[in-house]
Chains A and B, each alone.
Chain A
Amino acid sequence: MKNHIILILILFVTTSVKGQVSPEIELGAKGVMSGNFEIKDNNSTSAVSDFSDSQILLGFRQKLYNNWRAQMVFGMQFPDADSDLGQVFYNHVFLKLENQKNIVKVGRSTTQTIINEFSTLRDDDAMQFNYSLNPFSNGVNTQDNQYGNVIEYTHIFKQRVWLTFHGENFADLSAPDNFELNSFGGSLIYIIPESQIWNRNIIQRVGLSYNNYITNRPGGELLKNILGTITLNLKPDPVHFIDLKVQGIYNVGFTSIDSINSYSNYVNIGSFSTFGTIRYVYRKYERPMIQTSLGFGYKTFNNVTESEQIIGIANVFYRIGENFDLGFQYRYLKNNGQSGVLFGQQEHRVQIAMVYTINQIFNNQFDTRNSILNLEHSYLK
C-alpha cells in the first residue's frame, strides 16, 4: 500500500441530503387605473373607469443540477369588462427551463405576435397596428392575440441574438375545446440587455419573425405573417434618453378575400401595418422621472382600396415616487372606407392614469442573465 493518505469527499447523497431547497420567489404586479373619455364619430361620448391590464404575477425559480434553472409562473390579469373572459384571465401559467444559452418554455404565456415593446399606457392600445392578429379570434378581446398555450425553444448566441422556434395553441372561437397547436413560427432578434440600453450608440434592437397560423380553410391553408422591427438609440444618454422604435407586419393573407366586412376577413386579408414611437426619458437620480412619447401607426390592405387605418398616440408619464407614475394619454384612431364601417370611422380617447408597478425578489440566490457581472465578467453558473 502506498504511503499515501487519501483525502476523500463523502457524499451520502440519497441518505443525508434531505434539506428543502427553497426557491427564489418573484412577485410582480402592475396596477393601471385610468379615467377614459372617448368621443366617437357620431359625436357620442363616454367616460369610464378602466382598470384593465392590471395584473399580478408570481414566479418561483431555482437552480437545477448541471447549471440549469427552472421557473414556474402564475399570473392573472383583469381584462376589459366586455371581453367575454370573465372577471379574471389567467394570462401566465408556465414552466421554463433555461441555462446560459437555451430556454424552453411550455404553458400559457405571451405569444410571439409582437417583437418589440412600445411606450403606450396599455400594451393593447395600438393592437391592430403592432400585433400579429389571431385569425381564430372574433376580436372581442385583446388577450386572444397576446396570450396562448405555447411551446417555445430559444437559443441565445453571444448573449445578444435570440433565435426562437415556437408553436402555439391560440384561442379558437370556432373550436374552444381544441387545444392542438394551431400556429408555429420562428424569430431572430438582436437585443441589447436592459441594463445597457442607454449605453449603445445606435442599434438597441433589431429582429425578424415569421408566424404561420394553421387555419381551418380548405386544405389547412396557412396564414403567414412576417414581422420586422428595429429600435434605434437617437440620443444614448442616461439623463436625456431618446429612442425610436418601429415595427412592421406584413400579413400575406388570402388572395380570395377582397373585402373587410367582417372581423374574420379583417385578420385574414393581406395587409401591411406599421407602428412606431419616438420616446424621450428624463432620468433624475438615476431613475426615470419623466417619459413622453409620440406614436404613429398605419395599416393598409390588399385587394381593398381606400380603407386604410391610422393611429396617433401621445402620452406623458411623471414619476411621483418609486414605481408610481401619473400618466396622460391621447389616442386618435381613424378608419377609412371598409375599416370605418367595421370599427367606426374615428375615435378620440383621452386617458388620465395612475400606474403602479412592482417587481420584488425574495430569497434571492443567483444572478440574472442580463446582469453586468454575467454579461461583462463571464457567466457564473
Chain B
Amino acid sequence: MDRKEFMKFSAMGVAGLAMFPTNVFSKETKSTNNKLFPTSLPFSKEGDWKEFKISIGITEQEIAPAMKIHTLAFNDTVPGPEIRVKQGDKVRVIFKNNTDLIHTIHWHGIYVPWRMDGVPYVTQMPVMPGKEFIYEFIAEPYGTHFYHCHWGTLLHMQSGMYGSIIIESDDDPIKKAFPYEREYTLIYSAHDVNFIRNELNAMLERMKERSFLMKNEMFDAERFNLFNTKEELLEAIENGYQPPYLVNRRSSAELPTPNWFTVNGKSYPSTPYLYIKSGENIRIRLINAGTENHHLHLHGHDFWMVCDDGVPLPQPWQRNTVSLSPGKTYDIIIKGNNRGIWTFHDHDTRRVTNNGMYPGGNLLALVYEDLPKEETLVGKMGALPKIALDE
C-alpha cells in the first residue's frame, strides 16, 4: 500500500467511524447542545409563593458515549433542574424522595431559615424513602448558587445530587457593566465511578434492612449508629458498642479517587459547546459541586471574573485562569473578541481525562458562530473540530 492509498484508506476508515455526522453550527446541533445545560424548572404560583416540585430517583446517566453509570438524579437529570427566581421571591420546593435511600436538600449559599438548611439531624429529620419535605425560604442573596443533598454527602453529591439555583435581580449589576443576552451554567463534578457503584449498593442494602426495621418498630440506636447526644454515644462505647469507623469494622480508608470529571453531568466528548459571536458578551456561571479543585483556563482570551459565590465583585478581575474550589461559584464574562474555536478546560490536566485517558473530562469548546467555514479547514485534515479519543 503506497502513501496515497494509505491516505485514502485512512479517510474512508475515519469517515466510516463518524459518530456525530452533524454541523457544529446547525440548528440541530445547537438544539441538542441546549439540552446539555440545566433546564429551568417550571413553577406554579400559590399565592405569593413560587412552588417548585423536585423528586429524586435512581437513573442511568451516559456520561460519555458508551459509558453509563447509575446516578441519583433530581427529576431524572444530572445535574438537577435549575431553579431560577427573582431576588426576594418566596420560594417553596416540594421535595419527594422516590429512592430507598435517605436524603435532604441543602441550599448552598442561600439565606434560608435554619430549619430549611437541609442538614439531617441538625436542622431537620432526613427525608425517608417515599416521603416528602417542603422547603420554604425567601430568595436571598442575589447570584449564582446551588443545591445538593446533605445526607451521605460524599456519595450522594458525586452520584448526581446537585443543581443550580440562580437568584436574579431586576437591577442586575453585571448586566449593567457587561451587557449580555446569553448565559450558560456549568456545574463541575468529579466521580469515582467504582466508589459510587460499591457505596450505592452497600447503602441500598443497608437501607432495605433499616426501612424494614423501622416499619416493624425495631429501631435500635446502635444498629443505626444514631445517638441522641454525644454523651449517649460515649456511654454506648463504654458498654461495648464499636463505632463503624474502627478498624475492626472498616479496615481501610476507602476514600474515592475520582476517575471521571464532568461538566453538567457529561465528560468530553459529550460536554457542551459554549456559543458566542464576535462582539458579544456571554456570562458563564461556574459551580463546583464536586470534591476536586478545577483550574479553568480559556485559550485565546482573557475573561472577567465578576462574581464570587454570587457576590458581585466591586472590581472585576481580568484573567485567563480561575481556580474553582469545591463549593465555590464564580461568574465570568467572556468577550467575543478573538474569532475561532477555543478550548476551555481544567489546567490540572488529570481532570481532562476519562478513566485516566487523555483527552476527556471537563474539556469544553468556546465556539464562534460567525466563524467562516473556510477557516475551519486545516489542510488535508479537513474540517475541525474533530473528536479525538487518544493522542
Question: B17 and A372: CB pair below 8 A?
Answer: no
Chain B residues whose C-beta falls within 8 Å of the C-beta of A17 in the assembled complex: 390
Question: A9 and B248: CB pair below 8 A?
Answer: no
Question: A10 and B14: CB pair below 8 A?
Answer: yes
Question: A377 and B213: CB pair below 8 A?
Answer: no
Question: B60 and A6: CB pair below 8 A?
Answer: no
Bound together, the chains give a CA A284 to CA B240 distance in angstroms of 13
Bitwise, A9-34 to B at CB < 8 A (1) or not (0) is 11110001100000000000000000
Question: B213 and A7: CB pair below 8 A?
Answer: no
Question: A10 and B17: CB pair below 8 A?
Answer: yes
Is B175 on the interface with A (CB-CB < 8 A)?
A: no
Q: Which of B104-112, B296-304, B312-320, B379-387 contacts A (4 or more CB under 8 A)?
A: B379-387
Is A286 on the interface with B (CB-CB < 8 A)?
A: yes
Is A364 on the interface with B (CB-CB < 8 A)?
A: yes
Cβ distance B23 to chain A, nearest Cβ, rounded Å: 4
Which residues of A (262-303) have their CB < 8 Å from a CB of B? Answer: 284-286
Question: A16 and B390: CB pair below 8 A?
Answer: yes
Question: B200 and A373: CB pair below 8 A?
Answer: yes
Chain B residues whose C-beta falls within 8 Å of the C-beta of A10 in the assembled complex: 14, 17, 386-389
- Given known A-B contacts A4-B26, A238-B209, A367 and B19 have beta carbons under 8 A apart: no
Is A176 on the interface with B (CB-CB < 8 A)?
A: no
Q: Of A3, A199, A366, A367, which contacts B373 at CB under 8 A?
A: A3
Chain A residues whose C-beta falls within 8 Å of the C-beta of B386 in the assembled complex: 7-8, 10
Residue from A8, A366, A376 whose CB has the most chain B CB atoms within 10 Å:
A8
Which residues of B (15-59) have their CB < 8 Å from a CB of A? Answer: 15, 17-26, 58-59
Question: B204 and A372: CB pair below 8 A?
Answer: yes
Question: A286 and B209: CB pair below 8 A?
Answer: yes
Is A42 on the interface with B (CB-CB < 8 A)?
A: no
Chain B residues whose C-beta falls within 8 Å of the C-beta of A5 in the assembled complex: 23-25, 373, 376, 383-385
Bound together, the chains give a CA A366 to CA B201 distance in angstroms of 12
Question: A284 and B387: CB pair below 8 A?
Answer: no
Question: A199 and B19: CB pair below 8 A?
Answer: no
Chain A residues whose C-beta falls within 8 Å of the C-beta of B24 in the assembled complex: 5, 7
Bound together, the chains give a CA A321 to CA B246 distance in angstroms of 12
Is A195 on the interface with B (CB-CB < 8 A)?
A: yes
Interface residues of A, dominant DSSP: loop
Is A64 on the interface with B (CB-CB < 8 A)?
A: no
Is A341 on the interface with B (CB-CB < 8 A)?
A: no
Is A103 on the interface with B (CB-CB < 8 A)?
A: no
Is B205 on the interface with A (CB-CB < 8 A)?
A: yes
Cβ distance B339 to chain A, nearest Cβ, rounded Å: 15
Bound together, the chains give a CA A376 to CA B386 distance in angstroms of 38
Is A322 on the interface with B (CB-CB < 8 A)?
A: yes
Bound together, the chains give a CA A339 to CA B59 distance in angstroms of 60
Question: B248 and A372: CB pair below 8 A?
Answer: no
Cβ distance A192 to chain B, nearest Cβ, rounded Å: 13
Bound together, the chains give a CA A321 to CA B26 distance in angstroms of 63
Chain A residues whose C-beta falls within 8 Å of the C-beta of B216 in the assembled complex: 237
- Given known A-B contacts A6-B22, A9-B17, A380-B70, A321 and B248 have beta carbons under 8 A apart: yes
Is B230 on the interface with A (CB-CB < 8 A)?
A: no
Question: B14 and A8: CB pair below 8 A?
Answer: yes
Chain A residues with CB under 8 Å of chain B are 3-12, 16-17, 195-196, 198-199, 237-239, 284-286, 321-322, 364-367, 371-373, 376-378, 380-381
Excluding A238-B212, A285-B249, A381-B68, 14 further A-B contacts by CB distance (< 8 Å) are A5-B23, A6-B23, A7-B21, A7-B385, A8-B20, A9-B17, A9-B18, A10-B17, A10-B386, A10-B388, A12-B390, A286-B223, A372-B204, A377-B59
What are 21 sample pairs from A and B whose C-beta atoms fall under 8 A apart?
Answer: A5-B24, A5-B373, A5-B385, A6-B20, A7-B22, A7-B269, A7-B387, A8-B15, A10-B387, A11-B17, A16-B390, A17-B390, A199-B212, A237-B212, A239-B213, A286-B209, A364-B198, A372-B208, A373-B70, A373-B201, A380-B69
Which 7 A-B residue pairings sit nearest by Cβ, starting from the closest? Answer: A9-B19, A7-B20, A5-B383, A238-B209, A4-B23, A372-B204, A371-B201
